[in-house]
Amino acid sequence: MMSAGEANHPMRAIGLQTSLPIDDPESLFAFEAPTPVPGSRDLLVRVRAVSVNPVDWKQRQRAAQGVRLPEPKILGYDASGVVEAVGPLVQLFQPGDAVFYAGSIQRQGTNAELHLVDERIVGRKPATLTDAEAAALPLTALTAWEAIFDRMRLAEGGGAGKALLIVGGAGGVGSIAIQIARQLTRLEVIATASREESARWCRDLGAHAIADHRNLLESVRSLGRRHVDYILCTNDFEGHWSALCELIAPQGSICSILGAKQLDVSPLMGKSATLAWELMFTRSSHATDDMAEQHRILDRVADLADAGRLRTTLTETLAGFTVANHQQAHTLA
């Protein structure tokens, strides 16, 4: 445990105070902040690697639009690191443990030397992965896992004779969803890809068949499937909506990880089909009773990675905790 007196050591962090275009030199800046003190179930983690996802640039654009925040906001969600200190009620980890997690959107982020995170949303870092490889996993893996098992309510080992369509198969979430569905269910997995390279990538990860999202309805139908039982949509949800309504099987489930401004859900009624939403930050934002599910999921993900059954989707590594690297990562995410 850390005493309050130890909180005075400064740590380095990268943050923002106003939402600016990423090519503005002030869009992100380095500063020193007091080392935070763990609350009751918090871990203080020495961050070794972070990964940058679309949520990072979306938060950068939204967090301080037209205002200057009184204190810098630290972005960063996915992280891999080592537990440095623990809060008084922590049960799952101890100092020295290697961990990985996707954090909370309500708290300061992981772009700092030291970071506070509730132990219930943290997993053990996969031993066989580097910190950079491990940091690329939690946010996409939690999203894919929660979408398949918690929102569409598939059972592990289930899905025999049924099909799952993953729209955006080669994306961050789609790539993990293909692997989880193949490893842990008996579903037929159809992934969408529009390029030869992304189609090959989806097949390598285990997709049984590929459809082209540029003409989704015809492409899935040309595979000989009139309907699919489950659809996970990770891209252009509103653009694909009418095709998804056509393709979903009676009593099937559609899960979107994207919001929608305007959506006519009435086509689902005749089929008694379900529309479910998945937001990876819901459990931590609302401190739900089952928040520790994310601890359990990440430990399972670590087991799968260590068993060679789940591949990290790390694309590019930028070495060094610098503003320039974070700005570059925001342009790549």
| Closest by Cα among 283, 269, 284, 275 to 257 | 275
Q: Is residue 190 close enough to count as binding ligand NAP by CB under 6 A?
A: no
Nearer to ligand NAP, 54 or 250 (CB): 54
Residue 171 interacts with ligand NAP (CB under 6 A)? yes
Determine if 143 is a binding residue for ligand NAP (CB under 6 A).
Answer: yes
- The torsion angles phi and psi of 11, rounded to 5 degrees, stand at -125, 155
| Nearest 10 degrees: Cα torsion 332, 83, 116, 281 | 60
Alpha-helical (H) ranges within 33-137 are 54-62, 131-135
Nearer to ligand NAP, 106 or 251 (CB): 106
Binding string to ligand NAP for residues 202 to 241, with x set by CB under 6 A, is what? Answer: -----------x--------------------xxx-----
In this complex, which beta carbon is closest to ligand NAP, that of residue 159 or of residue 172? Answer: 172
Q: Which is nearer to ligand NAP, 13 or 216 (CB)?
A: 216
The nearer residue to ligand NAP, 213 or 330, going by C-beta atoms, is 213
Q: How many helices (H) and strands (E) does the chain have?
A: 10, 14
Residue that the structure tokens 């599910």 belong to: 293
Distance between CA 166 and CA 151 in Å, rounded? 14
Binding to ligand NAP by residue 195, rule CB under 6 A?
A: yes
**How many residues sit close enough to ligand NAP to count as binding (CB under 6 A)?**
26
Q: Which residue is nearest to ligand NAP (CB)?
A: 171
The helix (run of H) or strand (run of E) holding residue 167 is strand 163-167
CB-wise, 188 or 278, nearer to ligand NAP?
Answer: 278
* 294 binding ligand NAP? (CB under 6 A): no
Structure tokens of 86? 């623990």
**Per CB under 6 A, does 170 bind ligand NAP?**
yes
- Residue that the structure tokens 């906001």 belong to: 73
CA–CA separation, 209 vs 43, rounded Å? 42
- Could you tell me the sign of the dihedral formed by the alpha carbons of 149, 154, 155, 159, in that order? negative
Binding site for ligand NAP (CB under 6 A): 53-55, 139, 143, 167-168, 170-174, 192-195, 198, 213, 234-236, 257-258, 278-280
